Amino acid sequence: MSSCSCVLAGSANICSKGAAICEPCSSAAKANPAPPLPPRSNSTPRSSDGRRRLVFIIIGSISLAGILSAAALRFVILPIYRNRGRIHDTVELHAGAAEAPLPPGVPSERLRPDIAEYSNPPISRQLSIGHGSTIKEFPLAVLLAATDNFSDDHKIGSGGFGSVYRAVLDDGRVVAIKRAEPPPAAASSSHADQRRRRDRDRETAFLSELALLSRVNHKNLVRLLGFCNQNGERVLVYEFMANGTLHDHLHKLAVSPLASWAARLRVALDAARGIEYLHAYAVPPIIHRDIKSSNILLDATWTAKVADFGLSLLSPSSDDEHTRDPSSPRAAGTVGYMDPQYYRLQHLTTKSDVYSFGVVLLELLTGCRAVHRNDESGTPTNLVEYAVPQIDEDDVHSVIDRRLPPPTPSEIETVAFVGYLAADCVSPDGKDRPTMSEIVAGLERAMAACSGQPPPVLMRSATARSF
């Protein structure tokens, strides 16, 4: 055992038998004491507050960035995206386009401030026309200049939508300009409120119909070139049809190039193809509502095209449900052409157009108006009631137009077939009428037989009733 008063720390592990290494006690007293514990910090609450402030700053920054991003999306990115999809081949209208200056000398009565106060901003801001569209938005000043302020000297007709004017644009194109008629003046303040609502409804209808018309493209439909919705005016611009209406050639002109069975059959086939497109290929399908000979126009090459599809809802008289008369030409059809089943049931279908087209076929066959006066008694006679009973008795040739040369041997069967087809189209029950696709197929066979091609079998059983 060691007798040292002060033992060197750890020496017992080195020495054996309990020996140890001694050291002076004064050295042991100077040994380094264990390091003291650090004093309690007084900064802990301050550091915690700083961390909270840092968290609040981060959260606030993220929220502000989100708000700014949403604002950028709403006011910058979305307008750019929308404008990319708006493919007007058009004159771009600016914010003040509705008040664009008009040509000097325009009479104030030519404008419609009573309608203008209800009109919406330019349609180019509301209507997105599909890719590839050639629809143009015309400034009103251009159309006023082209028509001499809608002068009667340029007026060539009128219809359910309004007056029609012939005009020449700056680029030399000849066009037909259809100007919507203003609604009748309000008689009282209550009527004025009703009129405001009707004007708004009419504006909505104009936009929807214009969107529909802009998507329609077929060689046998009159092409819409553009529109104007400025200063209370609603105007549509169409291609000009140089040779007028089928109605004029059948009932007004003393001499017409349509004085042969082949020419009339060609017009019938052209018009049928146009209506077939509306029913079977337009998206959504379109019911014309007012098929008649005055809505079948002829261009410079005598190609027949159907006009005024989709416009019956825009006429001034078609806004008030309480005053709408189903017998009114502007409601849905024209007297003599209107489907009697629609008149009774107030249910419009594509077969209503088929009925009206059947009346047109009877006009082409007989040369008579849809409602004409009997030569002997002078009383009004409905063409369907006059011709169909004789056709049903297989006596088609007793009702054919005597102004045309007698049918040639190759035309006799064709003329009879067209008579049977017309009778099928005006069947009292819509279910018994053919579709426009079936009518086109029948007229194509008739055209082939009339032109001397190997004749198909044309008989009553080959019309739509057996399809």
> Does residue 324 have a pLDDT over 50?
no
Annotated catalytic residues are 290
pLDDT band at 286; cut points 50, 70, 90: very high
Taking Cα atoms as reference points, which of 261, 247, 258 lies closest to residue 443? 261
* 199-250 pLDDT, tens digit each: 777 777 777 778 878 888 999 999 999 999 888 888 999 999 999 999 999 9
pLDDT band at 38; cut points 50, 70, 90: low
- Residue 134: count of CB within 10 angstroms of its CB: 15
> Does residue 115 have a pLDDT over 70?
no
- Residue 253: count of CB within 10 angstroms of its CB: 12
219 annotated among ligand-binding-site residues: no
Taking Cα atoms as reference points, which of 294, 292, 304, 232 lies closest to residue 267? 304
The C-alpha atoms of residue 111 and residue 366 are separated, in whole angstroms, by: 45
* Three-class HEC string of the chain: CCCCCCECCCHHHCCCCCCCCECCHHHHHCCCCCCCCCCCCCCHHHHHHHHHHHHHHHHHHHHHHHHHHHHHHHHHHHHHHHHHHCCCCCCCCCCCHHHCCCCCCCCHHHCCHHHHCCCCCCHHHCCCCCCCCCCEECCHHHHHHHCCCCCHHHEEEECCCEEEEEEECCCCCEEEEEEECCCCCCCCHHHHHHHHHHHHHHHHHHHHHHHHHHCCCCCCECCEEEEEEECCEEEEEEECCCCCEHHHHHHCCCCCCCCCHHHHHHHHHHHHHHHHHHHHHCCCCCCCCCCCHHHEEECCCCCEEECCCCCHHHCHHHCCHHHCCCCCHHHHCCCCCCCHHHHHHCCCCHHHHHHHHHHHHHHHHHCCCCEEECCCCCCEEEHHHHHHHHHHCCCHHHCCCCCCCCCCHHHHHHHHHHHHHHHHHCCCCHHHCCCHHHHHHHHHHHHHHHCCCCCCCCCHHHCHHHC
- Residue 47: count of CB within 10 angstroms of its CB: 9
The C-alpha atoms of residue 209 and residue 431 are separated, in whole angstroms, by: 28
Of 4-13, 52-61, 96-105, 232-241, the one with minimum mean pLDDT is 96-105
Q: Which two tokens stand for residue 301?
A: 């090459």
What pLDDT is recorded for position 57?
Answer: 78
What pLDDT is recorded for position 192?
Answer: 75
pLDDT band at 36; cut points 50, 70, 90: low
Q: Span 282-291, mean pLDDT?
A: 92
* 125-172 pLDDT, tens digit each: 445 455 556 688 999 999 999 999 999 999 998 876 789 999 999 999
- Is 136 in contact with 169 (CB distance < 8 Å)? no
pLDDT band at 282; cut points 50, 70, 90: very high
* 168-190 pLDDT, tens digit each: 999 999 999 999 877 666 556 67
